């Protein structure tokens, strides 16, 4: 992979945090995402939007990481909104019912509006 970061974060207005993910969300990348989300949540950042535009694959560990973060955010009246899922990733989320749990939108603007 090139030298671009695979996971990054950026603060938006209204205490909304963007977490971007690029690549395969598998056993090599999931621990880094888990650490990022855990740190944000531990520091009171409960309104998270995840940019999945660069995600090409997600395994059960990646899905578990997302649901743990979602549960924690919800207990603090926050939320985790996902955007930019490609059709294959969206199909996985739909098959396992995660489309009923997570708010899934198309763009970062829609994600911000959902969290504002």
Residues 57-83: tens digit of each pLDDT: 999 999 999 999 999 999 999 999 999
Cβ-contact 86, 55 below 8 angstroms: yes
Q: What pLDDT does 1 receive?
A: 43
Angstrom CA distances, 25 to 15, 29, 35, 52, stand at: 25, 5, 13, 10
pLDDT > 60? residue 2 = no
Domain boundaries, the chain: 7-115
Distance CA 39, CA 26 (A): 20
Q: Identify the three-state secondary structure at position 59.
A: coil
Q: Which fold has domain 7-115?
A: Transcription Regulator spoIIAA (3.30.750)
Q: Using pLDDT thresholds of 50, 70 and 90, give the confidence band for residue 3.
A: low
Specify the pLDDT at position 6. Answer: 96
**Residue 100 in this model has a pLDDT that exceeds 50:** yes
For residue 47, the SS3 value is strand
Cα-to-chain-centroid distance, residue 109: 15
Q: What mean pLDDT is predicted for residues 45-53?
A: 98
With cut-offs at 50, 70 and 90, classify the pLDDT of residue 5.
confident
């Amino acid at each position: 992979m090139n030298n671009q970061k695979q996971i990054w974060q950026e603060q938006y207005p209204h205490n909304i945090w963007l977490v971007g993910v690029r690549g395969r969300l598998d056993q090599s990348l999931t621990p880094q995402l888990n650490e990022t989300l855990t740190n944000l949540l531990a520091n009171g950042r409960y309104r998270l939007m995840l940019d999945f535009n660069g995600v090409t694959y997600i395994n059960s560990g990646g899905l578990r990481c997302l649901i743990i973060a979602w549960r924690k955010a919800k207990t603090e009246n926050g939320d985790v909104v996902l955007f930019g899922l490609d059709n294959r990733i969206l199909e996985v989320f739909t098959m396992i019912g995660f489309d009923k749990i997570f708010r899934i939108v198309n763009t970062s603007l829609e994600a911000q509006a959902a969290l504002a």
